[in-house]
Amino acid sequence: MSRFAGYIFLSLCFILIAACTSAPKKPSALPAAQVSKLHRMQLAPRLPVPVKSMERQQLSDTWGVSRSKGRTHEGIDIMSPRGTKVYSATEGLIADLRNNNLGGKVIWILGPGGSWHY
């Protein structure tokens, strides 16, 4: 019986070690000099359309539209075929990459004047 308990103990240790080593890395801090430069810059009054082959006239402004659970929409959805190239709408630093259950892949960019783009 003690041999069985030893195997259980070793198995639990192995699982614990594996779980600890697979934890995601924390994002590193953004370079202070570049962040400072961005804060001093002015945000352009109009941002370019970041999706290849889309024109401004094709967009629908859905900012502030009601969403589920009392939320409001904080963006403009741009629909295009899978594989269409998407570009940054501003100069900036990539601050975070993540998957969002509601919006898919999200890239957070710190832009001019300290503005946030995603």
- CA–CA separation, 35 and 60 (whole Å): 32
| Total domains, the chain | 2
Segment 112-116 mean pLDDT: 93
Residues 59 and 43 in one domain: no
116-117 and 104-110 beta bridge pairing: antiparallel
Tell whether 92 and 43 lie within a shared domain: yes
pLDDT digits (tens, 9 = 90+) for 78-105: 888 888 888 888 999 999 998 888 777 8
- Would residue 12 count as lying in a domain? no
Task: Clarify whether residues 115 and 94 are in a common domain.
Answer: yes
Residue with more model confidence, 111 or 75: 111
φ, ψ of residue 117 in degrees (nearest 5): -130, 140
- Which domain range does residue 76 map to? 53-84
Determine, yes or no, domain membership for 112: yes
In a domain, 93, yes or no: yes
Is residue 14 in some structural domain?
Answer: no
Whether 1 maps to a domain, the answer reads no
**pLDDT tens profile 6-60:** 556 555 444 545 444 444 445 568 999 999 999 999 998 888 889 988 898 998 8
The answer on 116 and 91 residing in a single domain is yes
Q: Is residue 66 part of a domain?
A: yes
Domain contains 23: no
Residues 43 and 63 in one domain: no
Tell me: do 57 and 113 sit in the same domain. no
